Amino acid sequence: MTYQEDLMPGKSDATDNDAGYNYGYLNEQTKRMIRRAILKAVAIPGYQVPFAGREMPMPYGWGTGGIQLSACLLGPNDVFKVIDQGADDTTNAVSIRKFFARVTGVETTEKTGEATVIQTRHRIPEAPLQEDQIMVYQVPIPEPLRWVEPRESETRKMHALEEYGVMHVQLYEDIARHGRIATNFMYPVKVDGRYIMCPSPIPKFDNPKLDMSPALHLFGAGREKRIYAVPPYTDVKSLDFEDHPFQVESWDACCGLCGARDSYLDEVILNDEGERMFVCSDTDYCSSRRAQGNFGPMAGREDVAELMGESPQTA
Amino acid sequence: MQTFNEPMIHAQGVTKYYGPMVGCKDVSFDLWPGEVMGIVGESGSGKSTLLRCLSGRLDPTSGSVSYRSDEFGDVDVHDCSETVRRKLLRTELGVVHQNPRDGLRLGVTAGANLGERLMSVGARHYGNIRKEAAKWLGEVEIDADRIDHFPRTFSGGMQQRLQIACNLITSPRIVFMDEPTGGLDVSVQARLLDLLRNLVSRLGLSVILVTHDLAVARLLAHRLMVMKSGEVVESGLTDQVLDDPQHPYTQLLVSSILQA
């Protein structure tokens, strides 16, 4: 197809990609269908566009929506990064990175700043995103109203008519039960003053990064077969009450390895004597801070050396 | 602004066929502000069909229903946009279902059930929503400390009262009730009726009340319509209809009440 050749100048000389598969694993018709859905999603920020999701060579729940998006986006000149809960070196991240290295031959990286496409499971990198970057999210449940309204026909109607009062019922319940809004991830947002959107299960710490972000954010739900988007420089507001405003998580400690106080921290239990530490969930952010000479209180300890691991080898 | 020389609801020739079967046929009436109208009749006589047509949840085969709405002026319920219809159902109209579980969200607390209608019309202040919810629990005689309990832990009568409170919290002007006392024991029924009568007269609500219980109708309704096989066979002031029934079917209905 000429279409394919247009899209991939230099395919013939590029690369080590697996000749047994079409470029990007999906066939061209499928990619075209998904690209159309992406365009529609970008045109209507926050609206869930249905698409004919394909079977991917991995189970639902492992990121089938995300990899279908990535497969349609990656061109030969892209640089691809995959993170899983902030880390570049976990199984899911490593396998997806390997998969695309094999079926497209694109260059992969762990540096947030170098990547043009970043597929992510449940985190937004700490380093600020730029205009030419695309974030791809893996979404398990795209429907933010699902918790209060199980009927799909009804939730679509509610979106269409902008009947969103019921979203606050969930937040009300939180405050009634816990005295504060205890929802910490999948925190609902209103996009561009219109659609309520589920930002995939990112911690609410990352919600403010979506607001007026220079990058394009694409969300893919493989099982539910929905694609939605937050285009660059779009208003994204987290829902809240006037007397219980939206707040992000905060920690008493800093990152034990790099000393960061401004990043999302994971708690790690070190041994059975109750010792614990907090570490940046974004491994790239943590290691680049250490490379710049920032160290946390536990950076010198031998027993946590594994956590600092020299950045894992690229797939 | 409120004028009393115009009806709240104007129904004209409301007819609903289910295929060849008659749901209700050629029903016309006006409901005035502050008036309670009872619709009585045996089961299967089309009472609920009529109520659903009137409240805009069911499209009639022919005929029209219009409300006098504060926000939208005169609205033809079946000829307006769905946005308007659903907005009305959340603000100026209330629907009390026979089974409270149809009208409540069982997965969230009583307070959230009460707050939902407020939040759906834009309330975004937790403290105020909660205060209003507690006030309405008091209105329907439910202990304020049950505000964080789930409706499924409530007794049947309490669930019904909670459902009524959920409807009244946004001060609707018209309330549709489908057998609000169905399935409750006699003493609970009596208290609920007492409560309803008080609220209705104090808030000046217009109510359409569907019931098969003539005692309920006598207590609450100013005016009665008697239905049989989908048609209104007799209508008039409640006392007049019940004390001097003209139509044979009404006579049968009245005489079949056990005399205490």
Q: Which residues of A touch B83 (CB under 8 A)?
A: 161
Given a cut of 90, is residue B157 above it in pLDDT? no
A280 is catalytic: yes
A309 among known catalytic residues: no
Average pLDDT score, chain A: 89
- Quick check: A161 contacting B, CB < 8 Å? yes
Asked whether the beta carbons of residue B124 and residue A241 sit closer than 8 angstroms, the reply is: yes
Q: Report pLDDT for A11.
A: 46
User: What does the pLDDT average to over A106-114?
Assistant: 94
State yes or no: pLDDT of B148 exceeds 90: yes
- For residue A314, the model assigns a pLDDT of 44
Most confident of A230-239, B57-66, B152-161: A230-239
Q: B120, A172: Cβ pair inside 8 Å? A: no
pLDDT at B79: 86
Which amino acid is residue A75, in one-letter code?
Answer: G
DSSP A138-162: E-S---TTTTT---HHHHHHHHHTT
pLDDT at residue A236 tops 80: yes
Cα distances (Å, whole numbers) of residue A295 to A269, A301, B133, B231: 20, 11, 52, 84
How far is it, in rounded angstroms, from Cα A269 to Cα A283?
Answer: 17
Distance CA A83, CA A123 (A): 8
Supply B87's token pair. Answer: 């907005």
B41: closest CA of chain A, how far (Å): 33
**pLDDT per residue over B56-106, tens digit each?**
889 999 999 999 888 888 889 888 888 888 888 888 899 999 899 988 988
CB-nearest partner of B126 from A165, A175, A177:
A175
Question: Which candidate from B83, B119, B121 shows the least CB-CB separation from A169?
Answer: B119
Q: Is the pLDDT of residue A278 over 70?
A: yes
Q: What is the mean pLDDT of residues A198-220?
A: 95
Q: What is the mean pLDDT of residues A64-70?
A: 95
Give the distance from CA B255 to its chain's centroid. Answer: 26
| Residue A46 appears among annotated catalytic residues | yes
Please tell me the distance from the alpha carbon of residue A311 to that of residue B70, in angstroms, as a whole number. 66
pLDDT digits (tens, 9 = 90+) for B202-240: 888 899 999 888 888 888 899 999 999 999 999 999 999
A255 given a catalytic annotation = yes
Taking residues A112-128, what's their average pLDDT?
Answer: 94
pLDDT tens-digit profile of A14-32? 456 677 889 999 999 999 9
Range 206-225 of B in CB contact (< 8 A) with A: none
**Residue B126 contacts A, CB cutoff 8 Å:** yes
Which residues in chain B have Cβ-Cβ distances shorter than 8 Å to A151? none
In angstroms, rounded to a whole number, what is the distance separating the alpha carbons of residues A9 and B5? 78
What is the pLDDT, as a whole number, of residue B258? 63
pLDDT > 50? residue A313: no
Tell me, what's the pLDDT at A206? 96
Chain A residue with CA closest to B119: the answer is A165
CB of B81 within 8 Å of a chain A CB? The answer is no
Q: Choose the most confident range, by mean pLDDT, from A170-174, A191-195, B138-142, B170-174.
A: A191-195
Give the closest of A166, A173, A243 to B125, CB-based. A243
Of A157, A173, A175, the CB nearest to B108: A173
- For range B120-142, the mean pLDDT: 92
Query: What's the pLDDT tens digit per position in A22-63?
Result: 999 999 999 999 999 999 999 999 999 999 999 998 899 889
Mean pLDDT of chain B: 89
Catalytic site residue from A65, A255, A256, A296: A255
Q: Does the annotation mark A72 as catalytic?
A: no
Q: How far apart are CA A180 and CA A198, in angstroms?
A: 20
Of the candidate ranges A6-20, A235-249, B179-193, B226-240, the one whose mean pLDDT is the lowest = A6-20
> Is some CB atom of chain A closer than 8 A to the CB atom of B147?
yes
pLDDT at B187: 82
Give the pLDDT score at B130. Answer: 95
- Whether pLDDT at A9 is above 50: no
Q: Say how far apart CA A78 and CA A81 lie, in whole Å.
A: 10
Using pLDDT thresholds of 50, 70 and 90, give the confidence band for residue A103.
Answer: very high
Tokens at A128, concatenated? 């600020």
Which of B116, B122, B129 lies at the smallest CB-CB distance from A166? Answer: B116
The pLDDT of residue A315 is above 50: no
Residue from B87, B113, B124 whose CB has the most chain A CBs within 10 Å, to mutate: B124
The answer to whether B247 and B233 have CB atoms below 8 angstroms apart is: yes
Residue identified by tokens 């499924």 is B152
Q: Which of A14-18, A180-184, B1-5, B42-46 has the highest mean pLDDT?
A: A180-184
State residue B3's pLDDT score. Answer: 53
Q: Cα B227 vs. chain centroid, distance in angstroms? A: 17
The residues pairing with B139 across neighbouring beta strands, listed in sequence order, are none
Q: Is B92 helix (H, G, I), strand (E, B) or coil?
A: coil
Using 50, 70 and 90 to split pLDDT, how confident is the model at A2? very low
Interface pTM, i.e. ipTM: 0.83
Whether the CB-CB separation of B159 and B104 falls below 8 Å is answered with yes
pLDDT confidence of residue A306: 73
Average pLDDT for residues A60-73, to the nearest whole number? 94
Cα–chain center distance at A182 = 21
**Whole-angstrom distance, CA of residue B131 vs CA of residue B54:** 33
Q: What's the whole-number mean pLDDT along residues A194-204?
A: 94
Rounded to a whole number of angstroms, the distance from the CA of A298 to the nearest CA of chain B is 42
- Residues whose CB is less than 8 angstroms from the CB of residue A171 and which lie 6 or more positions away in sequence, other chains included: A181, A183, A239, A240, A241, A244
